[in-house]
Homo-oligomer: A and B are copies of this chain.
């Protein structure tokens, strides 16, 4: 096995057995290299991989917060991987769209089922959803990029309510991976003002369904909402469309 892969395997093992936990600092690169019997560049390769995957964060300097810390940004790695594969040309954007629709509509259904008893943290998520919804419903037309920002708050807020961290991370990653395509697609919609207000109405309906605990309504509304937008933005494949 190659040197940096050995380092990766050892770091994984140390995380698995609890030696290094979330938020803690890894030993310095020099120390790590000596411990694992490899050179510093090899350690750096391994840590670069971990950083790209969203496992660690590297900071220069000294004192608390410096060095390499174990963080938790699962969406970083997933988003990066998806974006790169789109760039490589083998992953159609339409597939990303279909996967998002499937995953998110399920998360919305689940969120509706859980909305009856929320923890305080989840209450905050719900508040963020409501805030995004109100900001979108404010009178006057919204710029595309402003709308997309609020749209993300709304959608991801509901997903967060479902409590599935992996689904949340994947959806965040997918969204970031195709953010460019979404922005392009939204920019070429014939009548943005009309589309925007329709999307807002649909958001309201989804929100109400979730709040009412009506999972299957929330699911189908969400499904239709996502597909309709992508179809209008020219990002949905023909074959995938249900």
A interface, CB within 8 angstroms of B: 4, 8, 12, 15-16, 18, 21-22, 41, 44-46, 48-50, 52-55, 70, 72, 74, 77-78, 80-85, 87-92, 95-96, 98-99, 102-103, 106-107, 110, 113-114, 163-167, 169-170, 239-240, 242
Contact = CB atoms under 8 A, between A and B. Distances in A.
B84 A53 contact: yes
B41 A99 contact: no
15 contacts: A12-B87, A15-B89, A53-B84, A53-B85, A72-B88, A74-B90, A77-B77, A81-B81, A92-B165, A98-B164, A99-B164, A99-B167, A99-B170, A102-B106, A114-B239
Stoichiometry (number of copies):
2
A66 to B, nearest CB: 16
A84 B16 CA distance: 9
A84 B170 CA distance: 15
Q: 7 shortest A-B CB distances, which residue pairs? A: A77-B81, A102-B106, A15-B87, A95-B166, A72-B90, A45-B48, A49-B52
A130 to B, nearest CB: 23
A21 to B, nearest CB: 6
Nearest to A81: B77
A240 B167 CA distance: 12
